[in-house]
């Protein structure tokens, strides 16, 4: 059971979370609990670290007091009634607060912030939230047992984006978690791990989902529950499409495609460990626990050709216009080698049917760097006019139409384009993934929301999907 930051944002939310865990425990489900930091804590810790290493130590310490220490003490006061237990918890937390202060002072003296030192600071958010939750669960009669994730999840040394080392983590989990399951309720931190020699790492923003999937996989869990503040994965963003509804079932592939193309419910990495063991995931709402949520499995029992529409905005379309691919051999290889060298993430690739251009989509801030890198890569061809030009078209968005049933169903693209045509929306570029679970359409950013609404209507996604 993983609970996100909004699910533990304050005393009231944490009390709700504890009652959900109690329900699982009393039903004999043998829960293992993974928690994020209190909502806003990770961002506040980043701001503290940034201020400290820039020489603004007083500002960093003030922010620590106001945005972190006060917030966590308020949660303790709202959750724990026993004065002795409350004071013991506050004393334990005070040690952590002092350690953070020491780290921030060190950053101010050194005047630099490395990925390793940033991880050391950021990991405190989850440690504090789990200390509070464990004490509150114990006071309410639940046999909670706090575990340090740094002693469970062994990672590589890629600080701020660490990858778990599954074999070594498996041995730790077998030794330290499995003996507790059923007799206790293990409570540990998401987002956090440590290298083989014990240096603190983090798994990247949103990494608590990933932590839960890794831990659930290593434990051979019956199910991995991701508790958040929405009823599940929806057919579209309800702020854009008011009639959007919760999807009852998705395949692993469909969920991965949606998360890659902008759906915020699930961290993109989360799917991978669960797929390896075939463990179902369920997206649930902490504030509406009666809702069925969305179940993510290998083969859904509910079938629908298109499951959901999502979008990514703030993008640019980079074009390399070539007079003839045969005249300039290796164009595609040189394009993507140049882009990769600049560590630019390519979200989508397409090529014109006439083979006269290659275009790809990147986040808008990366476009100028990509264009410059390509001009350098093709400097000779540009001067000889074998390549007409390299340029970026700003202000575009990707609209992704996702559904496993698209693979064997003709006419999906025609229906989508027909809906866009009737809405008066121009299609800039298209691409279909090799899995055929996703049709990506590039439109002008100002047209993105209407494009989502038009396609949602066309495929009648407001209606419940039928059973298989």
Residue 408 has what pLDDT?
75
Same fold? 4-27+37-180+195-209, 308-458: no
The arithmetic mean of pLDDT across residues 433-452, rounded, is: 86
pLDDT above 80 (res 355)? no
pLDDT above 90 (res 188)? yes
Secondary structure of the chain in HEC code, one letter for each residue? CEECHHHHCCHHHHHHHHHHHHHHHHCCCCCCEEECCCCCHHHHHHHHHHHHHCCCHHHHHHHHHHHHHHHHHHHHHHHCCCHHHHHHHHHHHHHHHHHHHHHHHHHHHHCCCCHHHHHHHHCHHHHHHHHHHHHHHHHCCCCEEECCHHHCCEECCCCCCCCECHHHHHHHHHHHCCCCECCEEEEEECCEEECCCCCEEECCCCHHHHHHHHHHHHHCCCCEEEEECCCCCECCCCCCCCCCCECCEEEHHHHHHHHHCCCCCCCHHHHHHHHHHCCCEEEEECCCCCCCCEEEECCCCECCCCCEEEEEEEEEEEEEEECCCCCCCCHHHHHHHHHHHCCCCCCEEEECCCCCEEEEEEEHHHHHHHHHHHHHHCHHHHHCCCEEEEEEEEEEEEEEEECHHHHHCCCHHHHHHHHHHHCCCCEEEEEECCCCCEEEEEEEHHHHHHHHHHHHHHCCCCCCCCEC
Higher-confidence residue of 388 and 84: namely 84
Would you place residue 328 in the very low, low, confident or very high pLDDT band (cuts 50, 70, 90)? Answer: low
pLDDT tens for each residue of 297-308: 988 876 788 999
Residue 230 Cα distances to 146, 183, 216, 263, 308, angstroms: 27, 31, 22, 12, 16
pLDDT above 50 (res 468)? no
The token duo for 240 is 């854009």
pLDDT tens for each residue of 136-185: 999 999 999 999 999 999 999 999 999 999 999 999 999 999 999 999 99
> Does residue 267 come out as left (phi exceeding 0), alpha (psi in the -120 to 50 range) or beta?
beta
The arithmetic mean of pLDDT across residues 392-411, rounded, is: 88
Give the lowest-confidence range in 2-6, 9-13, 203-207, 444-448: 203-207
pLDDT above 60 (res 434)? no
The token duo for 45 is 């810790």
- Range among 185-189, 324-328, 402-406, 407-411 with highest mean pLDDT value: 185-189
What are the boundaries of each domain within the chain? 4-27+37-180+195-209, 308-458
Residue 65 has what pLDDT?
96
The arithmetic mean of pLDDT across residues 314-319, rounded, is: 94
pLDDT tens for each residue of 416-433: 999 999 999 999 888 765
> Does residue 411 come out as left (phi exceeding 0), alpha (psi in the -120 to 50 range) or beta?
left
Give the lowest-confidence range in 44-53, 106-115, 368-377, 385-394: 385-394
Rounded to whole angstroms, how far apart are CA atoms 390 and 79? 59
Higher-confidence residue of 80 and 277: namely 80
Quote the mean pLDDT of the chain: 91
The arithmetic mean of pLDDT across residues 187-210, rounded, is: 93
Higher-confidence residue of 431 and 200: namely 200
pLDDT above 70 (res 352)? no
Rounded to whole angstroms, how far apart are CA atoms 323 and 325? 7
Residue 351 has what pLDDT?
58
Residue 223 has what pLDDT?
95
Percent of the chain exceeding pLDDT 70 equals: 95
pLDDT tens for each residue of 220-254: 999 999 999 989 999 999 999 999 999 999 988 88
pLDDT tens for each residue of 70-129: 999 999 999 999 999 999 999 999 999 999 999 999 999 999 999 999 999 999 999 999
Residue 299 has what pLDDT?
84
The arithmetic mean of pLDDT across residues 357-366, rounded, is: 91
CATH of domain 308-458: 3.30.2130.10
Q: Which CATH number fits domain 4-27+37-180+195-209: 3.40.50.300, 3.50.50.60, 3.40.1160.10, 3.40.50.150?
A: 3.40.1160.10
Rounded to whole angstroms, how far apart are CA atoms 88 and 334? 62
Please provide residue 263's backbone torsions phi and psi, each rounded to the nearest 5 degrees.
-65, 130
Would you place residue 327 in the very low, low, confident or very high pLDDT band (cuts 50, 70, 90)? Answer: low
Rounded to whole angstroms, how far apart are CA atoms 30 and 348? 42
Residue 389 has what pLDDT?
87
Interhelix angle 412-422/448-458, rounded to 10 degrees, is 120
Would you place residue 324 in the very low, low, confident or very high pLDDT band (cuts 50, 70, 90)? Answer: low
């Amino acid at each position: 059971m993983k609970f996100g930051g909004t699910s533990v944002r304050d005393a009231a939310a944490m009390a709700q979370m504890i009652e959900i865990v109690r329900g699982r425990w009393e039903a004999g489900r043998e829960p293992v609990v993974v928690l994020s930091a209190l909502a806003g804590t990770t961002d506040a810790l980043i701001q503290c670290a940034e201020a400290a290493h820039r020489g603004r130590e007083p500002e960093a310490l003030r922010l620590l007091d106001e945005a972190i220490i006060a917030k966590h003490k308020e949660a303790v006061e709202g959750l724990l009634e026993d004065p002795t237990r409350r004071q013991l918890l506050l004393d334990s937390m005070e040690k952590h607060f002092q350690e953070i202060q020491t780290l921030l002072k060190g950053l101010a003296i050194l005047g630099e912030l490395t990925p390793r030192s940033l991880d050391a600071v950021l990991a405190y958010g989850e440690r504090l939230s789990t200390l509070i939750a464990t004490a509150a669960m114990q006071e309410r009669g639940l046999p909670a047992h706090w575990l340090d994730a740094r002693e469970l999840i062994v990672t590589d040394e890629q600080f701020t984006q660490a990858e778990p080392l599954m074999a070594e983590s498996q041995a730790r989990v077998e030794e330290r978690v499995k003996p507790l399951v059923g007799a206790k309720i293990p409570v540990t931190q998401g987002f956090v791990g440590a290298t083989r020699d014990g240096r603190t790492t983090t798994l990247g923003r949103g990494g608590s989902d990933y932590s839960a999937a890794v831990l659930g996989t290593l434990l051979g869990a019956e199910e991995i529950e991701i508790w958040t503040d929405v009823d599940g994965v929806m057919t579209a963003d309800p702020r854009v499409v008011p009639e959007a509804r919760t999807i009852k079932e998705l395949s692993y592939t469909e969920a991965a495609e949606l998360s890659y193309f902008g759906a915020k419910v699930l961290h993109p990495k989360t799917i991978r460990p669960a797929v390896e063991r075939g463990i179902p995931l369920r997206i649930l709402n902490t504030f509406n626990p009666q809702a069925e949520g969305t179940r993510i499995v290998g083969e859904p029992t509910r079938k629908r050709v298109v499951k959901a529409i999502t979008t990514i905005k703030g993008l640019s379309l980079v074009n390399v216009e070539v007079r003839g691919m045969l005249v300039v051999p290796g164009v595609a290889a040189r394009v993507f080698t140049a882009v990769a060298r600049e560590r630019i993430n390519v979200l989508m690739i397409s090529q014109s049917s006439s083979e006269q251009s290659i275009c790809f989509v990147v986040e808008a801030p990366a476009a100028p760097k990509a264009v410059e890198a390509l001009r350098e890569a093709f400097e000779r061809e540009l001067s000889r006019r074998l390549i007409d030009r390299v340029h970026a078209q700003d202000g575009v968005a990707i609209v992704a139409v996702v559904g496993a049933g698209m693979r064997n169903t003709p006419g999906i693209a025609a229906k989508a384009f027909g809906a866009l045509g009737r809405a008066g929306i121009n299609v800039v570029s298209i691409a279909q993934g090799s899995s055929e679970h996703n049709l990506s359409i590039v439109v002008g950013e100002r047209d993105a929301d209407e494009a989502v609404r038009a396609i949602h209507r066309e495929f009648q996604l407001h209606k419940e999907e039928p059973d298989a």
